Amino acid sequence: MMLIYILFLPVAAGVVALLSERVSRRLPGWIAFLGSAIDFGLVTYLWAGGKAGDPSSGGWISQFQAPWIPQAGITFHLAADSISLLLLALTTFLGAMASLASFTEIRERRGFFYLCLTWTIAGIIGVFLALDLFLFYFAWEFMLVPMFLLILLWGHEDRFRAGVKFFIFTQLGGLLMLAAILGLYFTHGRVSGAYTFDYQALLGTAMGPRAATLILCGFLAAFLVKLPAVPFHTWLPDAHTQAPTGGSVILAGLLLKTGAYGVLRFAVPLFPLLMQRFSTVLEILALVGILYGAFLAFAQEDMKRLIAYTSVSHMGFVLLGLLSGSSIAFQGAMVQILSHGLSTGALFVLVGALQERLQTRDLSRMGGLWSVAPRLGGAAMVFALAALGLPGMGNFVGEFLVVLGTYGSNPVVAVIAAFGFVLSTLYSLRMMARAFFGENREGWKIPDLSMREAAIMVLMVVPLLWLGLYPRTFTDLATRPAVSPSEGASGQIVQPPSEPPEGAGGEE
Amino acid sequence: MSPSLASLLPLIILAGAMPFLLVILCFVRSHGLTFYVTLLALAASLAALATVTPLGAPKVGILFVFDGLFFFYGGLLLAGSLAVVVLSHEYLSGRPGDVEEYYVLLLGAMLGALVLVASRHFASFFLGLELLSISLYPLIAYRRSAPHHTEAGLKYLILSGVASAFLLFGMALIYGVTGTMDFASIGARLMGLVSGRPMVLAGTVFITVGIGFKIGLVPFHMWAPDVYEGSPAPVAAFIATISKGSMIGLLLRYFSHVSLSGHPGLFAIFAIMAIGSMFAGNLLALFQNSIKRLLAYSSIAHFGYLLVAFLSAGPFKVFAITYYLVAYVATTLGAFGVVTLLSGKEHDADGMDAYEGMGRRSPWLGGMLAFMLLSLAGMPLTAGFIAKFYVVAAGIGSALWALVAVLIVNSAIGLFYYLRVIAVLYRSPFAEAPPCPSCGIKARVVMIVLLALVVWWGIYPSHLVTLIQATRIAQ
C-alpha cells in the first residue's frame, strides 16, 4: 500500500496545487514542495523499515498488485527493491528541490506549472516502480506530456522547437519499445499459453535469436534515447536549455535516469546473454558519449547548454557501468546516477538563478561575477568541482568505480573512458573562469543568493558529500536488481562474490 | 409484437420520426420543438436498441441481421448522434434562415447509418449507403451564405455518386459470379470457387472503392478536407464519426463472410491503402492552417491505423478495430464540439488565429481541445492511448511488421501537428481577442460527458473491453 501512497501523493499534490492558486499565488509552490518532501519522507521510511527484507520476497521490499485490464493480462503491479528505493529517494528529493527553485522564476499560471511538475515526477516514480510492462510503458509515456508543457509554456526563447523535438524523439523510442513489449508478450504467450505483461513471468522467456534481437533493439531504442546515448542525444541540449529551471532539474536529474533504469531493470535481466553480445557496440556508444559530450560542452557559449552536454558525458559513464558485468562497476553506475542528478540539478538551479538576475545565459557576456555575488560563485565552484570529479564528492566515487570495474574486464575501454576526467576538468574550469573570474566587463551588479536559494544549495551538497565520503551507505544498497526467486536461481544474474547482498536478502 | 418487428424497432422509430417532423413543420416552425422531437426519437431508438432488439429475431427477412455487431455499433452511432444533435442545436441557434429541416435530414442520415450496420445483403447495403449520402448532401451545403459551402456539397455529391457507381458495378460483378447478393452465401460460394477469380477480385476491388470513398482512405480521400472545411462543424463531426463508423461496421461484416486471406492481391490493396492513408494523412496535415482541414487529414491517418488492425488476424482483430473506433468517435466528437462551440454567427472557427491563446481565454474549452488532440495522438490518460495500444497489439500479434513500423513512424509525424495546435492554444494572443462565446447547459453536459468517457476509457478500460469482447458477428 505504501507504494500506492508514494505514487499518488505527487498526483494529488499537483491537483491541490492547481486549485490552491485561487487562494494565494504563493501556495502552489509550497504545496508541490511539501508533497515531494513528504513523499521523500515516505521513501526513507520504507527504506528504514524494509531493509531487512523478507527472504521469501526475492529482494522486493514492498509490492502492490491489483487487477487493471485482466482481459489482456495487465495488472497494476508495483514493486520496489533497494535500487528502486535509491532512485525514488533521488526523484522525490530533486522534485522538492525543483519546486523550491521555481518559486520566483515562475510568475504566471503557477498552479498549472506545479501540476505539470508534480505529474512529471509521478510519471517518473511510476517508471521506477512498475513491474508490469504495460504499466511501465504507461508511466514512460505519461511523463512526456507534463514535461512537454513545462517546456512549452514556461520555457525560454526557442521553446516550441525544443519541446517538440524532445517529445517526438522520446515518443518514437517509446513506440518502438511498445512494439518490443508486445513482441515479448506474444512470444511468451505462444510458448507458455499465458498471455501476461507481468515482469516476473516474462523473465526467462524462450525466444529465437532473431526475435530476441529485434525485441531487445526495441527496448534499447527507448532507453538509449532517454539516457541519452550518442547519436540519439540531439534532443537533449535543446530541451535542457529551453526548459525552465525546475524542468531542467527534472530532465537532467531524473528523466535521463529512467533510461538507465530501463537498461538495468529490463534490458539486462530479460536478455542477459544477448546484452553481452551487444556490449561492444554499446560500450563504444558510451565512450563516444563520454568524450563527445565533454568535447561539445567545452565549446558552448550558452551556460545552460554547456551543462546539458556534460550530462551526455556523465551518462556515458552510467551506461558503461551498467554494461560491464562487474558488480563494482554497477555500484559505480548507481552512485554516478545519484551524484549526477544532484550535481547537475544544482548547476541548473544556479544557472537559473543567474538567468533570473542577468537575463542571459551567455558566457561571453558574464565575467567577474565572483566579486559581485560571492555566495553564488562559491556554490557554483562546489558543484563544478563535483562535476569534474573532485575526490570527496559523489561523482568521483561513481566514475572511479565504473572505470575500476570496467578495467577488470576491458582495460582498453577503461583507459579511454578515463580521458573523460581530463575533459571534464577542462569544461568545468572553463565555465567557472568565464563566468565568475576575469573582468566584469558589463558592470553587472546582481543580488547574491537569497536564503531560499542558499538553502537549496546546502540541501543538495550534503548528500553529494555523503556519497563522496561514505559511499558504502549507497553501494550496499546498489546490488543487482531483484528478480523473482526462481529466476535468481537459474543463474542468469551473476551475484557478486565479495558483496554481501544486504538489500536483496532473497538472493543469498 | 412479433419478433421481427421488435428487432426493427430502432429503425422504425427513426423512419417514423422523419415524416412526423415534416408534418409538424407544416403547422409549427419551432427550432426548440424540432430539436426535442429529434432528440427524443434518437433516444427512443437507442432505448429500443438496448431493450427490445435483443429480444427479437436476429435475422429479419433477407436484408437485415441484428447481431452483436449491430447492437454495439448501432448503440455507438446512436449515442454519437445524440451528441451531434445537441451540438447542432447550439450551432444553429440564432443563425439566420430555416433550420428545422436540418434535423429531418440528420435523422435520415442516422437511419442510413443504422441500416448499413444491420445489412447483410447488397440491396440493404446500397439502400443504407444512399440514405446516408443523400441526407448528407444538403446537410453539407446547409449554410448557403458562402460559395465554399455549396462547393463542398457539390463536391461530395459528385464524388459520392461516382463511388456509388463503382460500388454498384462491383456488386454486379460479384453477383454475376456467385448468383447471390447475400453476404453469407457470397462468402460460402467464393470458398469453393475455381473459375472467375479475376472477376471476383475486380468486383471486390470496386466495392472497396465505394467503401474506401466513404471512409476517406487514400487514394479516395480528396473530398475530405474540402468537405470538412465547407460543411457546418456538427455536420463535419457527423461525417467524421457516424458516417465513417457505419462503414467500418459494414466492412467488418462483409469481410467476416468473405475471407481476405483467400486473396493475396486484395490483402496487398488494403495494405497499400493503409500505408498511403497513414502517410498522406499525416504529411498533409503538417501544412494545414485550418483546424477542420487538419482534423480531416488526421482522420484519414487514423483510418489508416485502423486498417492495420483490419489486416490482422486472430482474436484481437475485431476487438482492436472496435475499441479504436469507440475512442476515435468520442475524441473526434469532443474536438469538433469545441470547434462548434467556438464558431461565431458568420464563420466557423477554423483558422489557427481563432484559436490563438484559447487555453488562456477559455481554459475549459482550450484545455478540452488540447486533451482531445492528445487523445488523437495516443497519449496516456486518454482513450486514444489504449486504442493505439490495441491496434499495435493486433498488428504485432499477426506479425505485420512493415505495417506496424509505418504506424510507429506516422505516430511520431502526427505528433508534430497535434503539438503545434496545442502550442497555438497556449500562446499569448497577439491582439485582445474577443472573449469566448458562452455555451448552453446542454452543450456543456455533452462536452463533460465526452471528456469523462475519454478519461475513463483511458484509465480503466476494463468495462468497455468486456462489452466489446461480447460483440459477435452472426455468421
Q: List the single residue in A with minimal CA-CA distance to B378.
A: A141
Q: Which of A404, A409, A416, A413 is nearest to A471 (CA)?
A: A404
- Of the residues A178, A181, A187, A196, the best mutation for testing chain B's interface (the one with the most B CB atoms within 10 Å of its CB) is A178
Domain span at A300: 274-495
A257 or B99, which is more confident = A257
Identity (one letter) of the amino acid at B177?
A: V
ipTM rounded to 2 decimals: 0.93
Chain B CB contacts of A225 below 8 Å: none
- Mapped onto helix, strand or coil, the DSSP state of residue B170 is helix
Q: Collect contacts of B279-283 with beta carbons under 8 A, ≥24 apart.
A: B279/B218, B279/B304, B279/B406, B279/B410, B280/B218, B280/B221, B281/B218, B281/B221, B281/B410, B282/B410, B282/B413, B282/B414, B282/B417, B283/B413
Predicted pLDDT at B138:
94
B86 or B96, which is more confident = B86
Predicted pLDDT at A160:
93
Q: Which of A127, A137, A178 is nearest to B391 (CA)?
A: A178
Angle made by CA atoms A363, A367, A373, in degrees to the nearest 5 = 115
Rounded Cα–Cα distance for residues A486 and B133 (Å): 62
HSE-up of residue B86 (Cα within 13 Å, Cβ side):
24
Predicted pLDDT at B328:
97
Q: Mark yes or no for CB contact B460/A68 under 8 Å.
A: yes
Q: Which of B124, B248, B258, B247 is nearest to B178 (CA)?
A: B258
Q: Which residues contact B405 (CB under 8 A, 6 or more apart)?
A: none
> Quick check: A72 contacting B, CB < 8 Å?
yes
Please confirm whether the linkage preceding A272 is cis (ω < 30° from 0): no
HSE-up of residue A398 (Cα within 13 Å, Cβ side):
33
Chain B CB contacts of A153 below 8 Å: 426
C-alpha cell at B176: 454475376
- Of the residues B462, B464, B469, the best mutation for testing chain A's interface (the one with the most A CB atoms within 10 Å of its CB) is B462
- Left (φ > 0), alpha (ψ -120 to 50) or beta: where does A504 sit? beta
* B35-40 average pLDDT score: 96
Tens-place pLDDT, residues B130-170 = 999 999 999 999 888 778 889 999 999 999 999 999 999 99
Chain A CB contacts of B393 below 8 Å: 72, 182, 185
C-alpha cell at A42: 515516505
List residues bridging with A65 in a β-sheet. Answer: A77
Q: Which residues contact A7 (CB under 8 A, 6 or more apart)?
A: A78, A122, A125, A126, A129
Rounded Cα–Cα distance for residues A223 and A226 (Å): 5
H/E segment holding residue A420: helix A411-436
CB count within 10 Å of CB A415 equals 12
Q: Mark yes or no for CB contact B415/A179 under 8 Å.
A: no
Rounded Cα–Cα distance for residues B156 and A61 (Å): 63
Predicted pLDDT at B195:
66
Q: Mark yes or no for CB contact B381/A164 under 8 Å.
A: no
Chain B CB contacts of A178 below 8 Å: 389, 392
Please tell me the total count of domains within chain A.
1
Predicted pLDDT at B313:
87
**Position B345 confidence tier, pLDDT thresholds 50, 70, 90:** confident
Predicted pLDDT at A497:
36
Chain B CB contacts of A149 below 8 Å: 426
Beta-carbon contacts below 8 Å between A and B: 74
**Position B96 confidence tier, pLDDT thresholds 50, 70, 90:** confident
Burial class (CB in 10 A: 0-12, 13-18, 19+), B83: buried
Q: Mark yes or no for CB contact B415/A141 under 8 Å.
A: no
Q: Mark yes or no for CB contact A142/B381 under 8 Å.
A: yes
- Of the residues B358, B404, B418, the best mutation for testing chain A's interface (the one with the most A CB atoms within 10 Å of its CB) is B404
Rounded Cα–Cα distance for residues A420 and B397 (Å): 45
**Residue spans per domain, chain B:** 277-475
CB count within 10 Å of CB A132 equals 24
Nearest to A182 among B379, B396, B409 (CB): B396
Nearest to A160 among B374, B423, B460 (CB): B423
C-alpha cell at A144: 512526456
> Quick check: A459 contacting B, CB < 8 Å?
no
* Largest Cα span, chain B: 71
Taking each helix axis from N to C terminus, what angle separates B244-257 and B100-118, rounded to the nearest 10 degrees?
A: 10
- Mapped onto helix, strand or coil, the DSSP state of residue A216 is helix
Predicted pLDDT at A66:
93
**Position B464 confidence tier, pLDDT thresholds 50, 70, 90:** very high
Residues in chain B whose beta carbon is closer than 8 A to a beta carbon of chain A? 374, 379-381, 385, 389, 392-393, 396-397, 404, 408-409, 411-412, 415-416, 419-420, 422-423, 426, 460-462, 465-466, 469
> Quick check: A15 contacting B, CB < 8 Å?
no
pLDDT for residue B432 is more than 80 = no
- What string of pLDDT tens digits covers the 508 residues of chain A? 889 999 999 999 999 999 998 899 889 999 999 999 999 999 999 888 765 455 556 678 888 999 999 988 999 999 998 899 999 999 999 999 999 999 988 888 899 999 999 999 999 999 999 999 999 999 999 999 999 999 999 999 899 999 999 999 999 999 999 999 999 999 999 988 889 999 989 988 888 888 899 999 999 999 999 999 988 999 999 999 999 999 999 999 999 999 999 999 999 999 988 988 898 999 999 999 999 999 999 999 999 999 999 999 999 999 999 988 788 999 999 999 999 999 999 999 999 999 999 999 999 888 888 988 999 999 999 999 999 989 999 999 999 999 999 998 889 999 999 999 899 999 999 999 999 998 888 888 888 999 999 999 999 999 999 999 999 888 888 776 776 433 333 333 333 333 333 333 333 2
Chain B CB contacts of A179 below 8 Å: 392, 396, 404, 408
CA dist B401 → A208, A214, B281 (Å): 16, 11, 20
> Quick check: A153 contacting B, CB < 8 Å?
yes
Angle made by CA atoms A245, A250, A252, in degrees to the nearest 5 = 95
Predicted pLDDT at B14:
96
Nearest to A138 among B380, B393, B409 (CB): B380
> Quick check: A22 contacting B, CB < 8 Å?
no
Weakest mean pLDDT among A480-484, B367-371, B469-473: A480-484
Chain A CB contacts of B397 below 8 Å: 182, 186
Answer whether A504's CB lies under 8 Å from A81's CB. Answer: yes
Residue in the structure block whose three cell numbers are 563504444:
A284
H/E segment holding residue A79: strand A74-80
Tens-place pLDDT, residues B176-223 = 998 999 999 998 888 877 666 788 889 999 999 999 999 999 999 999
Q: Mark yes or no for CB contact B416/A163 under 8 Å.
A: no
C-alpha cell at B372: 482531445
The model carries a pTM of: 0.93
Predicted pLDDT at B353:
82
Q: Mark yes or no for CB contact B380/A141 under 8 Å.
A: yes
Is the Cα torsion angle A212, A218, A224, A227 positive or negative in sign? negative
* B94-100 average pLDDT score: 81
d(CA B373, nearest CA chain A) in Å: 12
CA dist A408 → A325, A403, A414, B86 (Å): 10, 9, 9, 72
Q: Mark yes or no for CB contact A69/B462 under 8 Å.
A: yes
Chain A CB contacts of B402 below 8 Å: none
CB count within 10 Å of CB B352 equals 16
Query: Does residue A281 sit within a domain?
Result: yes
Q: Mark yes or no for CB contact A141/B385 under 8 Å.
A: yes
d(CA B77, nearest CA chain A) in Å: 25
Answer whether B299's CB lies under 8 Å from B391's CB. Answer: no
